[in-house]
Structure 1
Amino acid sequence: MSQFDTDLIIAGGGLAGATLALAMARVLPEVRVTVVEAFPLAAAALPAAYQPSYDARSTALAFGSRLIYEELGLWSRLSEHVTPIRRIHVSDRGRFGATRLDATEHGQDALGYVADNRWMGLCLMRELLDSQVQWRAPAEVVDMTAEADGVRVVLNDSQGRQSLTAQCLVVADGGRSGLRETLGFQPRHHDYGQNALIANVSTSDSHQFCAFERFTDAGPMALLPQGGGVRPGHQSALVWTLSDQALADLLERSDADKCRLLQERFGWRLGRFTRIGECSHYPLKLTTVDEPVRPGVALVGNAAHALHPVAGQGFNLALRGLMTLVEQFRLATEQGLSLGDARVLRRYQQHHRQDWQQTVQFSDSLIRLFGPDLAPVAAVRDAGLVGLDLLPGAKRWFARKAMGLGGRRAVIHRPGGPNRESSDHA
């Protein structure tokens, strides 16, 4: 390994990149890992006490993702500020179809969790600063060329352009950086023709740790409970699907008008909407890369696949993929192979592909099924929702998908510790 400057370079130190770095530090501490991140990082920048913000953005963590973070030794800290999802209510606005999922029916205390992105980032950074993982920040990867048994990666930092050699590059900087295209990967996009508006909202009634998936004639919306896990609160994270014109109109309105329009779309299951925070938005696309690996480089997270957010599957799929990749890296070191060896990365792709295809299909099918407001389609989906409530087998399948327990199971091997399957349980 000494012929390289480092063994593994991770482009991007966000939630996916930082989680991969932590997993490598836990499972393969002998492998030298360097994270290249555009934002500066220093221990002094991490506050001693966490202060949640009303407008903080959040991520839905499936129950299977909790199991992964438990195995990585992060969950005990992370759980201090997560909100459990104990029930999920799925309904079709203006129609009779509905189904309800309850964690107690599956012997768990939660179906999933809602975590503040900033809190997750702080927890990951604190763990990583105590590890052997090296950081190059602020810096960004701008190019890569393949070399014998490895890669040469070109960085831009405060000193200008520099290069590092490594066994493998993992691209974890999302789908908007352009690095994926620079390296020659060809993503496929399906434009849903709509936008996601993201905001935090308050309601007069408590959410009682219930998440809502509401499908309307204008598109789906989701409300995820926020506020910690001790007492049910009145704040939820909103994902609201809107057309271009509806979004433009909404953004020009007052907060009171936004709440009124949201009330009309969602209904009164949480009482009156009393506050809406800062709104952000982005166009909705299903983005996939058919071949996310090649010798020396692999795409992960949103760089490899970006899903519609209303089903809450994107980050959880990425997390399972990261654990699959780490397992293949572990096997590579046992077999004396380079981390970037084509055989290693192809095995990762083969093991992750089924989970990736099934999750993309599950998420995309929900959006397509609940999108058209045509009478025959509406009748079928209403019958389907009622059927889920009446048929235990179908409901269990749906619940396991929502809990992130339907994918291929990756075994996490930690030196000196028990081995455990990361994405299935119970």
Structure 2
Amino acid sequence: MRTDEYDIVIAGGGMIGISLALALAPLGQRIAVVEAIERSAPLQPSFDDRSTALSRSSQRTFEALGLWPAIRAASTAIRHIHVSDRGRFGFSHIDAAEQNVEALGYVVINRVLGTVLNDALLAADNVDVICPARISRVQTTERSVTVSADSNDDVRQLQCRLLVAADGANSGVREMLGIGAQHVDYGQHAVIGNLQPGQPHNNIAYERFTNDGPIAILPTADDRVTFVWTLQPERADNVLSLSDEEFTEQLQQAFGFRLGRFSKMGKRARYPLSLSKANSLVVGRGVLVGNAAHGLHPVAAQGFNLGLRDVASLADCIADALADGAGDPGDATVLERYAEWRRADQKKLVHFTDGLVRLFGSRRRSLRLLRDVGMLGFDLVPGVRRLFARHTMGLAGELPRLSRGVPLK
């Protein structure tokens, strides 16, 4: 059996895996991306009609990769964020002008973002895309990693110096590397879709906490909005069985009339929500990025942005090693630096999103009072809003070059 040699093999060709390949491509490494599901397949979850909220640091990363003009043309700016708790007196808001930025973030449909990323990938002559193919075996030695990529009745052997698991929260490659993970099932499902508000969205993103769960409403193109409605599984079953008109009325009652009366409901879908956290980011010549390292609740819309900072940090570490003449992207010192760099950011976001779910999901009177006080204090205590905004924009802490908008080469 023939063995193809690469410097880096990336398991997973979703948005994070492709972004990593594009970040590393200018460094002259020979890269393979192995993806199990074809880009155009209905089951491809990375490029569906869901929307992603891109943080400021994600915007800067795509600027550094030369992709931002194409993404920006299909994106909608978030200039205000409004947070409220249904039936309670506290609310909070963040304003882009107050933070001296053009936008707090941008909303883009995954399908559109995926098209931009895939077009750029096709133009990268040092990146091979092996798809559809699934990694079925991983063998590691001190100097290399060999993987078996199964495609229909064909099996290819790929040898590399670094294997990156970017294949999602249920990462098979993570398991093959021997890295365990902690999983928390929230017992919730996200019901997603898009609709027409009765009033212009004015580039405001809403996070509305209800007894059923949070409702996020994000501004999108053509003055429509997308929604993520978190519900108990039985409640999700119930609302998905309703007609468009009945579903719209239920969502309207839960959210209120800040955007006028809802209409023109688009296609609806659902997916289960959980928290996952890998026990380690690195083992041997294997490393984890994105949801393979950490899968978050969508309550704060931070999952993709956290994964893209993984990408930027790993690319930074590899670029520095190559510039120093080490020439080995899988060297232990490179991967240890990456793991140390990412630990604090990942831990912070995991605790933050999990804490929000538990705080606003509780019906205990003491916690409801704490929520009211917290949201009032958020607006009244000097400096709190600015610090929170910097974290949500992905600008807190030591940022890698790509997250600052600086190309690696």
TM-score, normalising length: structure 1 = 0.89
Give the match's secondary structure for 1:275. Answer: coil
Residue 377 of structure 2 is aligned to residue 379 of structure 1: no
Give the match's secondary structure for 2:312. Answer: helix
Aligned residue in 1 for 2:145: 151
Q: Distance in 2 between matches of 1:317 and 1:404?
A: 8
Find the partner of 1:243 among 232, 241, 244. 232
Q: Distance in 1 between matches of 2:398 and 2:266?
A: 38
Displacement after TM superposition at 1:40 (Å) = 4.0
Aligned residue in 1 for 2:45: none
Displacement after TM superposition at 1:80 (Å) = 0.7
Query: What does the per-residue CA deviation read over 1:32-65, in whole Å, with 9 as the maximum and x for residues that have no partner?
Result: 1111122446xxx8xxxxxxxxx82111101111
The one-letter amino acid of 1:32's match is R
Displacement after TM superposition at 1:344 (Å) = 1.7
The one-letter amino acid of 1:387's match is G
Displacement after TM superposition at 1:408 (Å) = 2.9
C-alpha contact 2:313 2:341 (8 A) present in aligned 1 = yes
The one-letter amino acid of 2:262's match is F
Displacement after TM superposition at 1:194 (Å) = 1.3
Q: Distance in 2 between matches of 1:413 and 1:313?
A: 15
Query: Per the alignment, do residues 124 and 387 of structure 1 end up closer, same or farther by CA in structure 2, a change over 3 Å counting?
Result: same
Query: What does the per-residue CA deviation read over 1:367-397, in whole Å, with 9 as the maximum and x for residues that have no partner?
Result: 1211112222111111111111112300111
C-alpha contact 1:150 1:338 (8 A) present in aligned 2 = no
C-alpha contact 2:90 2:375 (8 A) present in aligned 1 = yes
The one-letter amino acid of 2:175's match is E
Residue 316 of structure 2 is aligned to residue 327 of structure 1: yes
Aligned residue in 2 for 1:51: none
Residue 278 of structure 2 is aligned to residue 289 of structure 1: yes
Query: What does the per-residue CA deviation read over 1:53-86, in whole Å, with 9 as the maximum and x for residues that have no partner?
Result: xx82111101111011111111011111000001
Query: What does the per-residue CA deviation read over 1:161-215, in whole Å, with 9 as the maximum and x for residues that have no partner?
Result: 2211000111112123533224322110122121111111222111111000001
Aligned residue in 1 for 2:23: 23
Aligned residue in 1 for 2:391: 401
Query: What does the per-residue CA deviation read over 1:319-348, in whole Å, with 9 as the maximum and x for residues that have no partner?
Result: 011110011111232242522222221211
Aligned residue in 2 for 1:345: 335
Aligned residue in 2 for 1:118: 111
Runs of 4+ more than 4 Å apart: 418-421
Q: Distance in 1 between matches of 2:176 and 2:241?
A: 37
Q: Distance in 2 between matches of 1:407 and 1:212?
A: 26
The one-letter amino acid of 1:277's match is G
Aligned residue in 2 for 1:49: none
Q: Distance in 2 between matches of 1:35 and 1:367?
A: 34
Aligned residue in 1 for 2:215: 221
Aligned residue in 1 for 2:295: 306
Find the partner of 2:154 among 119, 135, 160. 160
C-alpha contact 1:22 1:127 (8 A) present in aligned 2 = yes
Q: Distance in 2 between matches of 1:394 and 1:280?
A: 36
C-alpha contact 2:58 2:403 (8 A) present in aligned 1 = no
Find the partner of 1:362 among 352, 361, 370. 352
C-alpha contact 1:352 1:408 (8 A) present in aligned 2 = no
Aligned residue in 1 for 2:269: 280
Q: Distance in 2 between matches of 1:112 and 1:393?
A: 20
Residue 14 of structure 2 is aligned to residue 10 of structure 1: no
Which runs of no fewer than 5 residues in structure 2 stay unpaired? 41-47
Displacement after TM superposition at 1:360 (Å) = 1.2
Q: Distance in 2 between matches of 1:147 and 1:5?
A: 15
Please give the residue correspondences for 1:54-133 in structure 2 after superposition, counting only pairs within 5 Å.
Answer: 56-132=49-125, 133=127
Aligned residue in 2 for 1:424: none
Displacement after TM superposition at 1:412 (Å) = 4.1
Q: Distance in 2 between matches of 1:407 and 1:16?
A: 21
Aligned residue in 2 for 1:32: 30
Query: What does the per-residue CA deviation read over 1:190-245, in whole Å, with 9 as the maximum and x for residues that have no partner?
Result: 221211111112221111110000011111110011106xxxx1x11111110122
C-alpha contact 2:179 2:283 (8 A) present in aligned 1 = no
C-alpha contact 1:146 1:295 (8 A) present in aligned 2 = yes
Q: Distance in 1 between matches of 2:306 and 2:33?
A: 21
C-alpha contact 1:64 1:404 (8 A) present in aligned 2 = yes
Q: Distance in 2 between matches of 1:381 and 1:335?
A: 53
Q: Distance in 1 between matches of 2:345 and 2:397?
A: 5
The one-letter amino acid of 2:12's match is G
The one-letter amino acid of 2:370's match is V
Give the match's secondary structure for 1:105. Answer: coil
Aligned residue in 1 for 2:44: none
* Structure 1 vs Structure 2 CA RMSD: 2.0
Query: Per the alignment, do residues 182 and 391 of structure 1 end up closer, same or farther by CA in structure 2, a change over 3 Å counting?
Result: same
Query: What does the per-residue CA deviation read over 1:346-378, in whole Å, with 9 as the maximum and x for residues that have no partner?
Result: 211100111111111121121121111222211
Displacement after TM superposition at 1:411 (Å) = 2.3
C-alpha contact 1:327 1:413 (8 A) present in aligned 2 = no
Which runs of no fewer than 5 residues in structure 1 stay unpaired? 46-54, 422-426
Q: Distance in 2 between matches of 1:163 and 1:342?
A: 23
The one-letter amino acid of 2:310's match is G
